[in-house]
Amino acid sequence: MDVDCTQSCYACVEQSKVFSSPRIKTTIFVSRFGNATSVLSRTMTTTSENDSPSLPGNCHCAAFKFSVQLQSSPGVPNALFSCGCPLCSLNACIWAQPFALQVLRGDVSLLKGYRNGTTLHKFCSTCGTSLLCCDAEEPPRVLFVNVRALADFDSSWPVISSSCRKDAPPDALATLETSDHYRGSCCCGGISYTLRIPPIDKTKSCNCSICSRNGVLWTYPPVSAFAIASGVSLAEYTFGRKQVVHAFCSTCAVPVWERFLLPAKAASMGVNVRTIHGLDYRDLPSRVHNGVATLPKYEVG
């Protein structure tokens, strides 16, 4: 089921105008299951489709697996961009326009959709991974792929940033009520919370399989300082050793917090600072945790 949002994905809309030019060919690519999964725009670039390697990707739970060909220089995808609209910012999406997309497991039509102005964001309803940006036509035409879902995603890849924060909902840019009272929410408002802690002065990111896909930036308050105001669209996902519960919005896919199930860690929780209203986290120092080295190896089923 697709859900509407009144906010537009501004940078994605502008990029899609380029890629939907009448001078650009479109091609239907068919999955191995025989279903036409999408119609993709193709642009004239310095890298031809035949020279571009197929890159594997998947949502975290692997219900949706794909391979994609992107414009690239040797070994590194290029022409990547981030959109500064509220939805793309909260989901930390990094977009690339594909030459070709082949669905290896699942179906684009079965992904959950959140309509963002004239675009449709597709994500996995089980694990919350943001995957595709489509136009809102029927059948949806895939415009961009979220490269965070690629198996070999590297956060050091160069990304062109586009800022649309002036167009964000007023509430999302509201002034903090006090220095220790924060409010936060997903994009659609189905999940909201309050947080009473000292001013946040740093964040932490992680390169593990799920944090890198979600692009989350963490702060770790005590559970006693956190209160859910609304949880009508709350979805939870756990995997592996099932020691952490990852909460995301089942409507707009925004990852909001994580709960720790081990007694030694249960007194604290992780809150995604991207979801905190009025907090400019971009200038805060951020430490990168090497989850790839310290956690069990992530295996795609």
- pLDDT for the residue 202: 96
- pLDDT for the residue 48: 53
SS3 label, residue 12: helix
Percent of the chain with pLDDT over 90: 68
Would you say residue 56 has pLDDT above 90? Answer: yes
Residue carrying the six token digits 């952490």: 244
Higher pLDDT, 91 or 172: 91
Would you say residue 21 has pLDDT above 60? Answer: no
- pLDDT for the residue 26: 32
d(CA 235, CA 253): 9
The whole-model pTM stands at: 0.83
Query: For residue 6, how far is the Cα from the chain centroid?
Result: 19
Q: Which helix (H) or strand (E) holds 122?
A: strand 119-123
pLDDT band at 40 (very low <50, low <70, confident <90, very high): very low
d(CA 80, CA 251): 26
d(CA 241, CA 219): 22
- pLDDT for the residue 50: 55
For 160, what's the count of Cα atoms within 13 Å in the CB-facing half-sphere? 10
Q: Which CATH class, in words, describes the domain spanning 169-290?
A: mainly beta
Query: Average pLDDT of 48-70?
Result: 89
- Please say whether the beta carbons of 151 and 56 come within 8 A: yes
Instruction: Write out pLDDT tens, residues 111-124.
Output: 999 998 889 999 99
- Please say whether the beta carbons of 19 and 43 come within 8 A: yes
Strand order in the sheet with 286-289: 234-237, 244-249, 255-260, 269-272, 218-219, 203-206, 286-289
Would you say residue 46 has pLDDT above 50? Answer: no
- pLDDT for the residue 257: 99
What is the domain partition of the chain in residue ranges? 2-162, 169-290
- pLDDT for the residue 49: 54
Would you say residue 33 has pLDDT above 60? Answer: no
Query: Average pLDDT of 17-24?
Result: 39
Would the CATH topology of 2-162 be identical to that of 169-290? yes
Instruction: Write out pLDDT tens, residues 177-227.
Output: 556 799 999 999 999 999 999 999 999 999 999 999 999 999 999 999 999
The residue length of the chain stands at: 301
Instruction: Write out pLDDT tens, residues 81-128.
Output: 999 999 999 999 999 999 999 999 999 999 999 998 889 999 999 999
Q: CATH classification of 2-162, choosing from 3.90.1150.10, 3.60.10.10, 2.170.150.70, 1.10.579.10? A: 2.170.150.70
